[in-house]
Amino acid sequence: MKDFKVLFIYPNTMMATLVPISLSILYPCLKSSGFQVELFDTTYYRTEEISFEQKKVELLQVKEFRLEEKDISYIESDVYADLVKKVETYKPNLIAVTIVEDVFPLALSLLDSIKQFDIPVIAGGVFVTLSPEEVICQKNIDMICIGEGEEPLVELCEKMYRGEDYTNIQNLWVKKNGKIIKNPLRKLVDINQLPYIDFDIFERKRLYRPMYGKIYTMVHIEADRGCPYNCTYCEAPHLRKLFKEHGCGNYYRRKLPSRIMEELRHLAKKYNPDYINFDAESFLARPISELKELSEQYKKEIDLPFWCQSRPETVTEEKIKILKEMNCKNLQFGIEQGNEEFRARILKRSYTNKEMVEALQIVEKYGIRYTVNNIIGFPDETRELIFDTINVNRQINPTTINCYLFTPYKGTYLRQYCVEKGYLDKDANVHQLLDGAELKMNSISYQELKGLQRTFPLYAKMPETEFDKIRIAEKFDEAGNRMFQQLREIYYERYFSS
């Protein structure tokens, strides 16, 4: 073990228990090179008024669950004081913070609390790649990593350990003598050659994950990286373009079935999970030959229940049959918007509602539970267009229904569209998918969107004879709140009882 210590800081949305793949790969990369690595994770600290998962419970998007059953509770001490204590006792040589846009303010406040230690800080993550100038100018950040971090982070630690100049490492921007040295991007990694995912940097209880009201020990495996699609509200098209323009290779890469199985054998033996998550933007986008190969080995050697996400247009009966035989228990699909013309023109998702409904009916035919994701509040969207989305949901039978507010993340086409139309200030911050951003547009108000969000599952599931009551429940006044609680109890009894 080398006498060089790295401290990862993970500023996370409060009680968002999904384990990040990024740190779970960066950790073994550094560990296999002999570096000491520890983590400061904010997940269980009270950094917000209400947790992301509890908001989803209140919005009828997930069934109520109790993390207390697995001895999971909030850390009641001060997050900043605890971070200071961690730095004082661990004495790291390098601090590495991973950032998404939702938690950028939290990340900055954490770094500000430890600035007195004068330890070099590197920031990475998708937000850093998409908005590097904004991040590198922060006073408590000394360097940033643009793009993938597995190779540059190890190279940085090696050079710092040997006392060598590290200002010329590809993918890094480094502050030196009042200037910023911007190094070129390197080739994208071969994800089949990376170390196995390692969750040991996290507390064991971080593997607990709620699903349909129960808590499972869930192991996550990266099945692919990137996405081949062009959704305008997503960062993937920008990343694909960035890496292509710099000659870095193809952003969308799939792990070979043989490599996935090697890793699963290792993870299943080490962590003894009762659920698997295939981490992929669209799991069914892979060729049928690869899916068959993976299925045959998975059934023989793993056979644990699993979940994954995909897109309606990737569904075929043959693929769903394979998933059923593999022991797939849960799927997740993005509907996003229900008006075909609006969806194709604004979101760049081109398929018909008939095709989408028929695809999800195949899933229902094979008895696989599924969740659908919907987004409301897109630029220029109206109440009528939102009800087109509700009507599509009424034609299918998902187990749970998510309704998020449009969140204009930096690096997306729709973010730029909103700025150009004057709907959003160019420097505006966003705060996760359940809150979105308040756009200054005339087609619908933010308050009306919040009302539609909390009643969306009611409109999607309950009979039309209840619509007048649901309309009352959209309002955040005394009568509306009382009606929502009445309808919420009915919804739970009808649709969440099993």
Q: What is the pLDDT of residues 126-158, one digit of tens each?
A: 999 999 999 999 999 999 999 999 999 999 999
Report, as an integer, the average pLDDT of 113-120: 97
pLDDT (tens digit per residue) in 312-352: 999 999 999 999 999 999 999 999 999 999 999 999 999 99
- Residue 431: its pLDDT value, please? 83
For residue 97, give Cα distances in angstroms to 15, 315, 375: 18, 38, 29
Strand partners, 218: 275
- Residue 68: its pLDDT value, please? 87
- Residue 498: its pLDDT value, please? 64
Query: Could you tell me the two tokens for 282?
Result: 């669209």
Amino acid making up residue 111:
L
pLDDT (tens digit per residue) in 365-419: 999 999 999 999 999 999 999 999 999 999 999 999 999 999 999 999 999 999 9
Structural domains in the chain, sorted by start? 5-56+64-182 (3.40.50.280), 223-461 (3.20.20.70), 463-498 (no CATH)
Report, as an integer, the average pLDDT of 457-478: 98
Amino acid making up residue 377:
G
Strand partners, 215: 210
Report, as an integer, the average pLDDT of 276-284: 96
pLDDT (tens digit per residue) in 10-55: 999 999 989 999 999 999 999 999 999 999 999 999 999 999 889 9
- Residue 429: its pLDDT value, please? 85
376 φ/ψ angles, rounded to the nearest 5 degrees: -120, 155
pLDDT (tens digit per residue) in 409-457: 999 999 999 999 999 999 998 888 999 999 999 999 999 999 999 999 9
- Residue 86: its pLDDT value, please? 98
Q: Is the pLDDT of residue 124 over 90?
A: yes
Pairing of strands 224-225, 214-222: unpaired
Angstrom distance (rounded) from CA 253 to CA 188: 10
